[in-house]
Amino acid sequence: MNKFISIESIARRYPKAGGGSTTIFENLWFSMNRGEFSAIIGHSGCGKTTVLNILAGLELPDDGLTVVDGHAIEGPSLDRAVIFQSHALLPWRTVLGNVSYAVSSKWRDWSAEKVAAKAMAAIEKVGLKGSEMKKPAELSGGMKQRVGIARALSIDPKILLMDEPFSALDALTRGALQDEVRRICVETGQTAFMITHDVDEAIYLADKIVLMTNGPEAMIAEIVENPLPRDRRRVDLHRSPDYYPLRNHLIDFLVTRSKTFKDEMPEGYDKRHPPIVRPGADNPLTPGETRKVA
């Protein structure tokens, strides 16, 4: 049990209108190593955002617990930075003001110059130098999300939590920001957890892809290890022999198995240890078949 992040048997239930409760998920287990990039994919309503909120500390699980770096999560923490889907910038502050706000929240006794310098470093990292005195309203959607990323990175978080950060952006901007995030995460060894709907985004960014079945009572069907090389580039992603087997596996899951998994659970399925699979050229999995590799 020396995992960096460990989700242990968490459950989340919401009260139903007519009494009783709906179980979003229960007995959910999942862990991450330091420096790992995990993406979780699944249909809307499967509880992905709830898992992220629990990791962020914005919601508490009804059962179970989440441990980060040896400490149980009891609430939000500056160790865990969130990049919100809607960027959530404070519109009355400038770009620098927004990032400085995070920096001065983390290091409360820092001088104004030190805070500004740290914030500027984060702004430069996401390529927004020159726009630091602009208000969010003057920025494009992509630039706003860059500020959101800069704000999250500026506090040197142990883990970066991303809730569909690029879903509101156009395809070109999305691609550019994915490159940016991948570069930063690889360079700095940032541990990251991301929710996405986009299979290609998951393939490009994530080392581990968590497949979640449809809710309610969603489960982690399996954890897919990304067989693509770590130094992968967007332009030749699709030329890799492992790309299509992986992509097909993910699409098959989203299209059919996310619905049917509950009725066709593989033999020996254990919620605590969901099967780890590694689809690739040498291991093309047919839908419904999961081969344990670990």
Partner 1 sequence: MLTSLNARGALLSAVIFTVFLLAWHIGVQGKASVAQMDPEYARLMGVAATQGKSAMPGPLDVGAQIWQHLQEPFYDRGPNDKGVGIQLAYSLGRVLLGYALAVLVALPVGFLIGMSPLMNRALDPFIQVMKPISPLAWMPLALYTIKDSSISAIFVIFICSVWPMMINTAFGVSATRKEWLNVARTLEVRPLRKAFTIILPAAAPTILTGMRISIGIAWLVIVAAEMLVGGTGIGYFVWNEWNNLSITNVIVAILVIGLVGMALDQTLARVARAVTYPE
Summarize as ranges the residues that interact with partner 1 (CB under 8 A). Answer: 56-58, 75-78, 80-82, 84, 86, 88, 90-92, 101-102, 105-106, 135-137, 155
Comparing CB distances to partner 1, the nearer of 55 and 202 is 55
| Cβ neighbours for 281, distance < 8 A, ≥ 6 positions apart | 227, 241, 242, 245
Measured between alpha carbons, how far is 4 from 191 in angstroms, rounded to an integer? 9
Terminal CA-CA length for the chain: 17
β-strands 21-32, 5-15 pairing: antiparallel
Whether 185 and 36 have beta carbons less than 8 Å apart is answered as no
Q: How far is the CB of 250 from partner 1 (least distance, A)?
A: 29
Sign of the dihedral through C-alpha 174, 149, 8, 189: positive
Q: How far is the CB of 84 from partner 1 (least distance, A)?
A: 6
Comparing CB distances to partner 1, the nearer of 34 and 135 is 135
Comparing CB distances to partner 1, the nearer of 26 and 163 is 163
Q: How far is the CB of 78 from partner 1 (least distance, A)?
A: 5
Q: How far is the CB of 156 from partner 1 (least distance, A)?
A: 13
- Picking from 90, 152, 89, the residue whose alpha carbon sits closest to that of residue 119 is 152
Starting from the edge strand earliest in sequence, which strands make up the sheet with 63-68, in order? 21-32, 5-15, 63-68, 71-72
Comparing CB distances to partner 1, the nearer of 105 and 140 is 105
Comparing CB distances to partner 1, the nearer of 4 and 107 is 107
CA atoms within 13 A on the CB side of 44: 0
Q: How far is the CB of 99 from partner 1 (least distance, A)?
A: 11
Q: How far is the CB of 187 from partner 1 (least distance, A)?
A: 23
- Picking from 208, 211, 242, the residue whose alpha carbon sits closest to that of residue 225 is 208
Comparing CB distances to partner 1, the nearer of 52 and 209 is 52
Whether 252 and 201 have beta carbons less than 8 Å apart is answered as no
